């Protein structure tokens, strides 16, 4: 089987089989990064453009490595070095890139919907590398991959996502993916950071973090944007860390083999205590798995089917 869409814009609407296909394909690609020669010829001759309108080190590097390990030609474009500063529209920029015969355009943008906007106007495959507060599908896929690796399954588990849910594309993509795969999802954060109607997506809302992590198999911490304090969304870092920080005491309320995750970059001592991050989290596994998952996505969008991997 292969993916039905030419693009990966979000997890919303994906089927159990599609998610499984990506995760299973990623499992076969993970091995490539462990070899001495970390390269397969799968996408030789394909051109992949990393179009990043928002600063990113981890995700951009992960996509770049994924493309290169598949032997694609990968080019990075970021606003400071491009025509964006000259006032060119997103559409014109993308059309110009496509005129040079790109096959896959990976876009990160601060505006929700920017990838969808491009996907309807371009022939290239578009991969959403994070758009506004909307979706970050490859992050959710690598998170699900990591959970499955650690717990052996995605169904009948309880996942607590804690932090600024309102402004988190990671939270939204994970809610879509995990509920589709049969997990119970809890979201937890200050009432100022819980968006309207989030429970309609199938997540239960908690303001009390102790309650949210009780019996959880996975605790996924989100990064706190410190500038939200000025917008009145929380009174201060100290109180936030007290109410919504993951520390040892709080972690003891979860399941014994709890999986602690964070999409990075981490505010140590704010949303997660250093000793938890360093000694009991799978943060670096997430990063490793990210490359494999992105290889799988690029491979499948290029028309690959699982059997060929």
Partner 1 sequence: MNILIKNGHIIDPANKIDEKLDILVSDGKIAKLGKPGSLAGNGARVIDAAGKIVVPGLIDMHVHLREPGFEYKETIATGTAAARAGGFTSVCSMPNTNPVNDCRSVTEFIISQAAKEAAARVFPIGAITKGSKGEELAEMGELHQAGCVAISDDGKPVMNAAIMRRAMEYSKIFDLAVISHCEDASLSAKGVMNEGFVSTELGLRGIPAAAEDVMTARDIALAGLTGCRLHIAHVSTAGSVRLIREAKQRGVKVTAETCPHYFTLTDEAARGYNTMAKMNPPLRTAEDVAAIKQGLKDGTIDVIATDHAPHGMDEKSVEFDYAPFGIVGLETALGLTFKLVQEGTLALSEAVRKLSMNPSEILKLNKGSLASGADADITIIDPNVEWTVDAAQFISKSKNTPFNGWKLKGRAVQTMVGGKI
CA 181 – CA 109 distance, rounded (Å): 27
How many alpha carbons fall within 13 Å on the CB side of residue 258?
A: 28
115 and 128 in contact (C-beta within 8 Å)?
Answer: yes
Q: Is 98 in the site for partner 1 (CB under 8 A)?
A: no
Least distance between partner 1 and beta carbon 248 (Å) = 33
Main-chain dihedrals φ then ψ at residue 5, nearest 5 degrees: -100, 155
Closest by CA to 128, choosing from 223, 52, 42, 27, is 52
**Any bridge partners for residue 205, and if so which?**
187
Q: Which is nearer to partner 1, 5 or 33 (CB)?
A: 5
Q: Which is nearer to partner 1, 192 or 279 (CB)?
A: 192
Q: Is 46 in the site for partner 1 (CB under 8 A)?
A: no
Least distance between partner 1 and beta carbon 174 (Å) = 13
The residue within the footprint of partner 1, chosen from 43, 198, 209, 276 (CB under 8 A), is: 198
Least distance between partner 1 and beta carbon 44 (Å) = 34
Q: Which is nearer to partner 1, 91 or 226 (CB)?
A: 91
Q: Is 202 in the site for partner 1 (CB under 8 A)?
A: no
User: Of 24-32, 131-139, 276-284, 289-297, which segment contacts partner 1 by CB under 8 A?
Assistant: 131-139
Q: Is 179 in the site for partner 1 (CB under 8 A)?
A: no
Q: Is 91 in the site for partner 1 (CB under 8 A)?
A: yes
Q: Environment class of residue 155 by beta-carbon count within 10 Å: exposed (0-12), middle (13-18) or buried (19+)? A: exposed
CA 130 – CA 63 distance, rounded (Å): 12
Q: Which is nearer to partner 1, 115 or 245 (CB)?
A: 115
The residue within the footprint of partner 1, chosen from 73, 88, 116, 149 (CB under 8 A), is: 116
Q: How many binding residues for partner 1 (CB under 8 A)?
A: 25
Q: Is 64 in the site for partner 1 (CB under 8 A)?
A: no
Q: Is 133 in the site for partner 1 (CB under 8 A)?
A: yes
Least distance between partner 1 and beta carbon 190 (Å) = 16
Q: Is 172 in the site for partner 1 (CB under 8 A)?
A: yes
CA 103 – CA 73 distance, rounded (Å): 10
Q: Is 117 in the site for partner 1 (CB under 8 A)?
A: yes
The residue within the footprint of partner 1, chosen from 169, 223, 262, 294 (CB under 8 A), is: 169
Residue with tokens 């890139």: 97
Least distance between partner 1 and beta carbon 31 (Å) = 35
Structure-token pair, residue 124: 């290239």
Q: Which is nearer to partner 1, 113 or 264 (CB)?
A: 113
158 and 309 in contact (C-beta within 8 Å)?
Answer: no
Q: Which residues are catalytic?
A: 58-59, 86, 108, 136
**Helices marked H in 208-306:** 209-213, 237-244, 248-251, 274-279, 283-301
Per-position DSSP letters for 73-138, written without gaps between them? EEEEE-GGGSGGGGT--HHHHHHHHHHT--SEEEEEESSTTHHHHHHTT-SSEEEEEEETTTB-HH
- Residues at the contact surface with partner 1, assessed by CB under 8 A: 12, 89-91, 109-114, 116-117, 131-135, 169, 172, 195-198, 200-201
């Amino acid at each position: 089987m292969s993916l039905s869409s030419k693009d990966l814009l979000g997890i919303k609407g994906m089927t159990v089989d599609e998610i499984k296909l990506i995760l299973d394909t990623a499992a076969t690609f993970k091995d490539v990064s462990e070899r001495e020669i970390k390269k397969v010829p799968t996408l030789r001759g394909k051109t992949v453009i990393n179009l990043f309108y928002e600063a990113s080190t981890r995700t951009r590097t992960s996509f770049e490595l994924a493309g290169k390990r598949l032997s694609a030609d990968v080019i990075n474009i970021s606003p400071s070095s491009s025509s964006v500063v000259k006032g060119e529209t997103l559409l014109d920029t993308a059309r110009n890139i496509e005129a040079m015969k790109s096959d896959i355009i990976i876009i990160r943008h601060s505006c929700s919907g920017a990838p969808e906007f491009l996907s309807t106007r371009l022939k290239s495959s578009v991969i959403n590398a994070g758009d506004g507060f909307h979706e970050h599908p490859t992050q959710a896929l690598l998170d699900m991959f990591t959970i499955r690796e650690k717990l052996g399954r995605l169904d009948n588990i309880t996942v607590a996502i804690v932090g600024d849910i309102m402004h988190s594309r990671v939270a939204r993509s994970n809610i879509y993916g995990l509920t589709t795969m049969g997990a119970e999802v809890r979201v937890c954060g200050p009432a100022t950071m819980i968006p309207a109607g989030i429970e309609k997506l199938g997540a239960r809302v908690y303001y009390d973090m102790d309650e949210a992590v009780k019996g959880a198999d996975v605790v996924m911490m989100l990064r706190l944007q410190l500038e939200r304090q000025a917008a009145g969304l929380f009174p201060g870092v100290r109180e936030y860390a007290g109410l919504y920080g993951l520390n040892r005491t709080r972690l003891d309320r979860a399941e014994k083999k709890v999986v602690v995750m964070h999409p990075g970059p981490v505010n140590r001592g704010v949303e997660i205590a250093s000793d938890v991050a360093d000694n009991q989290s799978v943060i670096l596994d997430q990063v490793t798995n990210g490359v494999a998952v992105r290889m799988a996505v690029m491979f499948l969008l290029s028309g690959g089917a699982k059997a060929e991997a």
